[in-house]
Amino acid sequence: MRVWKDAEGNVLEAIPTFRLMDADGAAIDGMAEELIGEERALKMYKTMSLLPQLDQVCYSAQRQGRVSFWMTSYGEEAAIVGAAEALATDDEVFSQYREIGVLMHRGLGLDTCMNQVMGTTLDQGKGRQMPNHIGSRALHFHTVASPLATQIPHAAGAAYALKRTAGRENNVAACFFGEGAASEGDFHAGLNFASTLNCPVLWLARNNGFAISTASIDQYRGDGLAARGPGYGTLTIRVDGNDALAVLYAVSEAKRRSLEASRPVFLELMTYRVGHHSTSDDSGSYRPKSSVEEWTQTDNPIHRMRKYLISRGWWSDAEEADLVKTHRKDVLAAMNKAEKRHKPPLSVLFEDTWANPPPALQEQRADLKRLLEKYGEDYEPWKEALKKVDGGAKGIDYEPKDQELYGGGWP
């Protein structure tokens, strides 16, 4: 993007976009070489290639009724994994919902991932969150919340806490959000808090062109999101989000500057949402299929990275075929294993929020118990579903004695 149009339709010069490799994966100058060796490049590439396999399996499992919901990362693998690689594994991550790749890159096992997706007894969220709405205390990844942009002020607060906590002076908070979320009031509140309180936070704005069906052109009239950073006195850069090396470099440098001066840095990662918004969306109704094909072919972050690796002699077609096969096999095995596990007992639905549940909640629990007694044995869909729940209908009376039993407690 070299130009943009203002509200009057005047064509103006746009904030430039930082890249380190071209659309064919050829390094633009020597910077990439300084930054990345074989081991690091392969580590990134392996996580980037895992994501489409995870997406394919979860997406089709949703279509088969085995999984409740899924959101893919198709097309945004470089933005997600490039940033993950630049961060330390104990930097606090506040994510939207399309950044499960950060967790996979930090070593979240496929079993843990699938236990969350399927809401099993081993899910640390006790089966109460939708797929993609995952968290991990051990991996410093704050649980995803559906209400857009709520993570933005949280990240500013966490960054403020980090700089005041002995031993955490070298950590930042890294906050991902989409260009759609940036239309929320919380975006402005969060950015202003972070800049006035000098918080070491990295704003990682994924500009993927869409907020469900709303194209980004209908989200703002200025020069994208990067134009807003200086308005908050925040160091800002626009990055080619489909260039994994550029994202790695920019986020690494942003973190260095953020810690050096204890201040936020804003990064607009330009990318494209290749997939539908979620399993509840059909993007064919608001964008031509040809634009998806064009992006997949001409600016595919995984192809670009692969070409770069091949050009360095670090990767081969045989290794590629092997990797795809292994990823697919591992994802399917984890899903099949999680699918066999029970879900937590129904009583768990009502616990952990209130020490003394309010009357409305007590009533709902009593209602569910009454309905289970009346229909649980006879109504076929319930009968089937209850077979997969620990304790079946009786689970509504289950009193957890040992929090370790469901979800293993927070590590």
Ligand X SMILES: Cc1ncc(C[n+]2csc(CCOP(=O)(O)OP(=O)(O)O)c2C)c(N)n1
DSSP state, residue 353: S
The partner in contact with residue 193, picked from ligand X, Mg ion, none with C-beta cut-offs of 5 to 8 angstroms by kind, is none
Shortest distance, position 272 Cβ to ligand X, whole Å = 10
Give phi and psi for 136, each to the nearest 5: -155, 110
Shortest distance, position 209 Cβ to ligand X, whole Å = 8
Shortest distance, position 210 Cβ to ligand X, whole Å = 5
- Smaller CB separation from Mg ion, 182 or 237: 182
Shortest distance, position 170 Cβ to ligand X, whole Å = 29
The partner in contact with residue 4, picked from ligand X, Mg ion, none with C-beta cut-offs of 5 to 8 angstroms by kind, is none
- Smaller CB separation from ligand X, 96 or 279: 96
- Smaller CB separation from ligand X, 148 or 199: 148
In our burial notation (b when 16+ CB lie closer than 10 A, e otherwise), range 242-277 reads bbbbbbbbbbbbbbeebbeebbbbbbbbbbbbbbbb
Instruction: Name the token pair of 128.
Output: 């109460």
Q: Residues 18, 26: contact at Cβ < 8 Å? A: no
User: Rounded distance, CA 52 to CA 34, Å?
Assistant: 29
- Smaller CB separation from Mg ion, 179 or 390: 179
The partner in contact with residue 80, picked from Mg ion, ligand X, none with C-beta cut-offs of 5 to 8 angstroms by kind, is none
- Smaller CB separation from ligand X, 50 or 100: 100
On the 0-12 / 13-18 / 19+ scale of CB atoms within 10 A, 316 is exposed
Shortest distance, position 199 Cβ to Mg ion, whole Å = 24
Collapsing DSSP to helix, strand or coil, 308 comes out as helix
**Which residues of this chain interact with ligand X, rule CB under 6 A?**
96, 98, 146-148, 177-181, 184, 206, 208, 210-212, 273, 277
- Smaller CB separation from Mg ion, 115 or 208: 208
Instruction: Name the token pair of 164.
Output: 């005041």
Shortest distance, position 271 Cβ to Mg ion, whole Å = 9
Shortest distance, position 165 Cβ to Mg ion, whole Å = 33
**Which residues of this chain interact with Mg ion, rule CB under 5 A?**
178-180, 208, 211
DSSP state, residue 37: -
The partner in contact with residue 163, picked from Mg ion, ligand X, none with C-beta cut-offs of 5 to 8 angstroms by kind, is none
Which phi-psi region, left, alpha or beta, contains residue 119 (left: φ > 0; alpha: ψ -120 to 50)?
A: left
Shortest distance, position 179 Cβ to ligand X, whole Å = 5
- Smaller CB separation from Mg ion, 131 or 178: 178
Give phi and psi for 404, each to the nearest 5: -65, -25
When CB distances to Mg ion are compared, the closest residue is 178
User: Rounded distance, CA 152 to CA 135, Å?
Assistant: 16
DSSP secondary structure, 310-347, as one string: HHTT---HHHHHHHHHHHHHHHHHHHHHHHHSPBPPGG
Q: Strand 210-211 relative to strand 214-215: parallel, antiparallel, unpaired?
A: antiparallel
Shortest distance, position 302 Cβ to ligand X, whole Å = 18
User: Rounded distance, CA 387 to CA 392, Å?
Assistant: 6
The partner in contact with residue 98, picked from Mg ion, ligand X, none with C-beta cut-offs of 5 to 8 angstroms by kind, is ligand X
Give phi and psi for 84, each to the nearest 5: -60, -40
- Smaller CB separation from ligand X, 225 or 348: 225
When CB distances to ligand X are compared, the closest residue is 178
The partner in contact with residue 181, picked from Mg ion, ligand X, none with C-beta cut-offs of 5 to 8 angstroms by kind, is ligand X
Collapsing DSSP to helix, strand or coil, 194 comes out as helix
The partner in contact with residue 392, picked from ligand X, Mg ion, none with C-beta cut-offs of 5 to 8 angstroms by kind, is none
Q: Residues 38, 310: contact at Cβ < 8 Å? A: no
- Smaller CB separation from Mg ion, 178 or 407: 178
